[in-house]
Structure 1
């Protein structure tokens, strides 16, 4: 090994011990293997490639991959506490320039969302009980729910009494019986091709209802496939809501977006924990002390979510508590209406695509 490489491998780490490439992970090259520039540290100052050893034991590489993704050994561990217990602290530090000590907002959001949807998907495979409000026909009950979802989209579809499962449900559209040819569903602002597809899928609803009754988890899986992308699309929309209600706060849109990323990451992590605690409580049984403890902890975490979100607004925007409470309420109402509408759309789309 050359003298330069030897000096590189023994180069002191940064004062904090986390902001450079660990000596054990370096290749010890004298020149950058990508562009040939002489190295004076663990990273090439010309092209940015790290002088990292790749040919290593696979479990070590897997651990290092996780470190690179969430900075598990350093930044991630420093991020968890303020993420869960100090509302708005991550956003405020990021906006004030203290960024490298924490996991980047987008990376944190992606990791927490993946965690949540993995947990939710895994728990969705628990056997599902279909309640029919006293009706012994689960197919009719599912058809009724599908009709209610369609009503939210079309605005004027009304269900009559459910028919037997082998017949098509008696749907009303524009105060007349639905018919794909003479009286089809026509949702305003949608192209004709999409309306035709919706009517075709409505015609398949009795079969889909029976399939869902036979295997409800398949329908849940269809909806879960649509949720991650939908939540990601809602991120910039939530930032726009913050921008609107804090229009005179003299904040750039990206500042609202960073807060949106942090708060959604917090919600994903806490909801994952609540789902796990609820599952543990059910598994232990209602009489066990562990079940009671899990239920109480889950309830506390659930109640912490709205308090956290409100306090995050106070920390980041630094307005008075009366103004924060007012704007927090306005933000909550706006986002709830939006999220409810999107959830209804996702449920309907999941049924149509099933």
Structure 2
């Protein structure tokens, strides 16, 4: 009995149990946070003048530990000089190499005449990149201002910016696409200096690009969906992604055989390819809007801008579960960071 208050004292053993319970609960919470943190939104904003956030070579060092024979000794985009030296002959056909497509590629590269990054990017001391996926997670995310503050903003295929600026921003450094996904207004959905980066899956993709740039007769043959016949873009803003990055994505991140592409139909999505490309290009790599609904969820839309579900992916050559595992490994190794839930 506490004679000052008139209350009975709690037995000492009960206090010990209570303290242990609190400590145990706190420990579990800390462990949960540390395990879950790679999949949670970043707790900070990216400031334009924040030099501390960017450390040159950080992503490269981490990628070396995870990706076998990783090297940055490859140009980002194809250039005419690639086809004039025997040492650069490719061992694979598109989408993993240029074998058999050299002649048409030379003709297209002669039209664009630009194979590098813009000076505004080249002159930056450190490259902070965000790969903006097309996922439903971006809807109502209010990440627009955050995305706009990165040095390089990569967008994918026909994902719109107009009318979605609050969630996805309005800055586009480059947009990776293929002909079937080019059904958008290049001027409305991009900035005047945005790079339009062709991801060539097959030779007809390059032939289509040559036709639209040179105003030649278009052909719809060889496409799973009709590409646009009119495509208003400046040739100097066009680049062709080096197929090397598709090779690395398939063989190193997805462990897909690239020697017999007809037998192994699984091909990387543009999204995972863009992440691989960013690993080779950037000093900081963040992603947003990646991840698909559970396979049992037939009603959840997969994109922030249209009402299609996972069912639409059933007949594609992409294995979304396989890709989710690859992205999760990159997150767990802290090579990349996620701004949205994954």
Query: Considering the TM-score relative to the shorter chain, is it more than 0.5?
Result: no
TM-score, normalisation: structure 2: 0.24
TM-score, normalisation: structure 1: 0.23
The structure in which a higher percent of residues are helix is: 1
Q: Larger Cα Rg: Structure 1 or Structure 2?
A: 1
The structure in which a higher percent of residues are strand is: 2
Q: Which of structures 1 and 2 has the larger relative contact order (alpha carbons within 8 angstroms, sep 6+)?
A: 2
